[in-house]
Chain A
Amino acid sequence: MYRYDAIDREMLADRVAEFREQCQRRLSGELTEDQFKRIRLMNGLYLQLHAYMLRIAIPYGALTSKQLRKLAFIAGTYDKGYGHFTTRTNLQLHWIKLKDAPDILEHLAEVGMHAIQTSGNDIRNITADPHAGANAEEVDDPRVWVEALRQWSTFHPEFSFLPRKFKIAVTASPKDRAATKVYDIGLRLHRNAAGELGFEVLVGGGLGRTPYLGPTIREHLPAKSLLSYLQAILRVYNRYGRRDNIWKARIKVLVASLGAEAFAREVEAEWEKTDQAKIDLPDTELARIRAAFAPRDFESLPATSNAFEAAKKDPAFARFARHNVQPHKIAGYAIVDVSLKKPGETPGDCTVAQMLAVADLAERYSMDEARVSYEQNLILPHVRLDDLPAVWRGLDAVELATPNRGLVTDIIACPGLDYCALANARAIPIAQAIARKFADPALAERVGELGIKISGCINACGHHHVGAIGILGVDKKGEEFYQITLGGSAEAEASLGQALGPALPADKVADAVDQMVEVYLRERKGDERFLDTFRRTGLAPFKEAVYADAH
């Protein structure tokens, strides 16, 4: 893990001092809420329905046990004893008092964390493959590059007043666990035929009101040119992106209106004129960052574990092992998914006790590392197979051993109308109602892989466009209705969902999901996932089942 040096620490200390002073100006009445809004909105502090919400950045989703304990302390001391992990791998605290915000930032700074650029029209917290450093397929550790980008983008003088927010995701593995096709910039690290490391650069993906899958504007950018090339992209966007209409201000609209090829030409022309050596990191700095992510000291272990195999006699553990344990690049180790999706609970919510338990397990069994995934789950990336039964027991003790990673109950949902001032409809109760239908783990297992994603409004924080079943809350004359889309995916073969039919009232959504799952179970051939069956059959049988009553 990257550890902050004196410079990084002084950056945070200066930031905390600045924010403390700005809050003081608000609390003393020198600034009105409207004037303060300009300041707080660049710093992750939102005024929501009930209180201030603070969004804490978790760069590349990586946490040490010390950091996770600090988050638990903050949630317990300054909030109601829990926090909410988001699809952007941030942690949101929804019940913050303004007077406490500077102290919270100071606590975060002690462990090298912050809330810088978690809101505002700037470069937001940058996400990466949560299996970085643990999966066998990756060509390099994406965190090296995200840390380089984190520093480059922090307080960027040119790109802090962009037309709109700007999100970047990085993966170095062919299996895309970072949703790079639906980001403002998606970066796919690979080696070309000559064996050289480079990025496939995708620009202009995104969800929201107008969803797009990002087109590739450069197949292979030499890795060391990353910062100068991104400067060129951001500069073209900053100069020519629309600012007259908030709904047309994201880079995806600029790319779509120019066309990907013309946009790429603009970027290349700007890049040619850039003094790249001034902007790109020198090899020494890249080496310094890379050293922080050096491979861990893994033990030489047999590929199988007797303790692990024996524990599978317990059917509950065996089910957990089938769904929440994934292969590691090193023999004798595994990647463990910690589900924050217990049926009936709010997706992504995590209590203080749960954070502390995961921190302890990470420290004892996962080389002091935990990760956050965009699916709003936690991950223990480096667990010995021998330790899996102990980890499972530890998780089970705090109700974090739900064996549903990727299954129908592993639902992504935004906070929705319960918390968010932008939302048109609630998302959490819909998720809970669906999860209750499939609460029987045997049923969930029989249904298999099925991504349900729920957004409470068109901003699509719940990624509904890329759900195999996507659910979007809309307001119809003051009543909550839900539009359903089918066939979306954010994985390597990404696709956007297709609308099923007229929006449904809140109390019909879970039933509709149930009906569609019935159709899938009837229609599926062999090992087909829900998504595969849908891609083969199309909308018709699903539509027929859900709207049968209407005929």
Chain B
Amino acid sequence: MPTLIRWTGQRAELAEDPFTAVGDEDPTPQGDVIVSLQRFQAEGQRLLAEGRKVGVRIEPHEDVEELEKDLPRLAVVALAFPKFLHGQAYSSARILRERYGFEGELRAVGEVLREQARFMVRCGIDAFQTADGSTPDQWTHVVTRFRHVYQRAGDGLAPAFAERADAGARHGV
């Protein structure tokens, strides 16, 4: 079974990937599948009714808002990064996590590189089909390298201003 890197909240681990990425022209295989938004809109209800896990792949130009009603039944949303410079999916990830409270897997696919790991994790992405052969240890290293963050995002970390407020409260300031 193919593998991917999964972020546990503390570290990156290698995990088996039970999902098959299904192209729009492919016949539907057995088991868990990830399909395009277009195919999901056409066949999603049937696929879900078959009792399998279903994921949807969102391209950079597609709006995650289209998935709002179906999110509770989706196991995975795969966010496409056709090139590492195409950063639309960082916004998609935050909307899914922070606005819709999506609790399933958020998977980065495409040109997914170690240098982007920290940004992706911070936006709430927790699974990675990497394009650069990174090991989980390397991934962990990049994600945990910084001790602080300056802003709230999709990972729930307390930003610097909240750390300062806590420290102030502890010292009775």
Interface residues of A (CB under 8 A from B): 5, 7-8, 10-11, 14-15, 17-18, 38-39, 121, 151-152, 154-162, 227, 235, 238-239, 243, 273, 275, 278-279, 281-282, 284-285, 288
Contact = CB atoms under 8 A, between A and B. Distances in A.
B151 A11 contact: no
22 contacts: A7-B148, A10-B147, A11-B146, A15-B146, A151-B151, A152-B151, A155-B146, A155-B150, A156-B151, A157-B122, A157-B123, A157-B151, A158-B119, A160-B87, A160-B119, A161-B85, A239-B63, A239-B88, A239-B91, A243-B60, A275-B98, A285-B161
B52 interface: no
Nearest to B124: A157
B80 interface: no
Contacts of A18: 145-146
A158 B150 contact: no
Interface string B58-94: 0010010000000000000000000011111011101
Interface stretch (B6-14, B34-42, B162-170): B162-170
Contacts of B99: 273, 275
Contact of A17 (B86, B94, B145): B145
B148 A157 contact: no
A167 to B, nearest CB: 17
A17 B92 CA distance: 30
Question: In the complex, which of the residues B90, B116, B120 has the most CB atoms of chain A within 10 Å of its own CB atom?
Answer: B90
Given A7-B164, A121-B85, A155-B146, A279 B91 contact: no
A235 B64 CA distance: 13
Contacts of A284: 164-165, 168
Contact of B84 (A10, A38, A158, A238): A38
Contacts of B90: 157-161, 238
A151 B87 contact: no
Contacts, number: 100
Question: In the complex, which of the residues B63, B118, B160 has the most CB atoms of chain A within 10 Å of its own CB atom?
Answer: B160
Given A282-B161, A284-B165, 11 more contacts: A7-B164, A11-B160, A38-B84, A157-B118, A157-B119, A157-B120, A158-B153, A161-B84, A235-B91, A243-B86, A282-B165
Interface residues of B, number: 37
B156 to A, nearest CB: 10
Nearest to B120: A157
A5 B164 contact: yes
B91 A155 contact: no
B43 interface: no
A21 to B, nearest CB: 9
A160 B94 CA distance: 14
Contacts of B161: 151, 281-282, 285
Interface of B: 60, 63, 84-88, 90-92, 94, 98-99, 113, 115-116, 118-120, 122-123, 145-154, 160-161, 163-165, 168
B160 A238 contact: no
B145 A14 contact: yes
A235 B87 CA distance: 11
Contact of B146 (A14, A39, A159): A14
Q: Which 5 A-B pairs have the closest CB atoms?
A: A161-B87, A157-B122, A285-B161, A157-B119, A158-B90
A5 B91 CA distance: 30
Contacts of B88: 238-239
Contact of A39 (B63, B86, B115): B115
Contacts of B123: 157-158
Given A284-B165, A288-B164, A161 B86 contact: yes
A7 B159 CA distance: 10
A275 to B, nearest CB: 7
Contacts of B163: 7
Contacts of B148: 7, 10-11, 14
Nearest to B149: A155
Nearest to B146: A14
Question: In the complex, which of the residues B63, B154, B161 has the most CB atoms of chain A within 10 Å of its own CB atom?
Answer: B161
A284 B163 CA distance: 12
A17 to B, nearest CB: 7
A7 B160 CA distance: 7
A275 B154 CA distance: 12
Contact of B164 (A161, A162, A285): A285
A159 B147 CA distance: 20
Contacts of A243: 60, 85-86
Question: In the complex, which of the residues A15, A152, A273 has the most CB atoms of chain B within 10 Å of its own CB atom?
Answer: A152
A27 B152 CA distance: 35
Contact of A14 (B63, B147, B153, B164): B147
Nearest to B92: A239
A157 B87 CA distance: 10
Contacts of A157: 90, 118-120, 122-123, 151, 153-154
B83 to A, nearest CB: 8
A278 B113 CA distance: 29
Nearest to A14: B146
A154 B63 CA distance: 26
A439 to B, nearest CB: 47
A285 B164 CA distance: 8
A498 to B, nearest CB: 36
B67 to A, nearest CB: 15
Nearest to A8: B160
Given A278-B152, A279-B152, A151 B91 contact: no
Contacts of B168: 284
Contacts of A152: 150-151
Nearest to B82: A243
Nearest to B151: A152
A225 to B, nearest CB: 15
Nearest to A231: B151
B94 A158 contact: yes
Contacts of A38: 84, 113, 115
Contact of A238 (B91, B145, B147, B149): B91
Nearest to A158: B90
A285 B169 CA distance: 13
Contacts of B115: 38-39
Contacts of A154: 150
Contacts of B164: 5, 7, 284-285, 288
Nearest to B165: A284
A238 B87 contact: yes
A406 B116 CA distance: 44
A235 B88 CA distance: 9
